[in-house]
Structure 1
Amino acid sequence: MLQTNWTNGAVICTVSEEANDEDRRENYTPIYLLGQEGFEALDPFVPIHVPEYTEKEALSNINYFIDRNWIQNEHGRTDEGKKELIFVSNKNPFNLAKICAQL
Structure 2
Amino acid sequence: MRVSLEHHDSGWAASVKRTREFGDFAVEVTAAPGHDHSKIRCEGVRVDHDEAWVRASWLANAADCRQGEAATRFQEMLDYAQSRRWYDQTRDEIAAHVVNREP
TM over 0.5: no
Between 1 and 2, higher relative CO (CA 8 Å, sep ≥ 6) is seen in 2
Structure with more helix by fraction: 1
User: TM-score range, shorter-chain basis?
Assistant: under 0.3
TM-score (norm 2): 0.28
TM-score (norm 1): 0.28
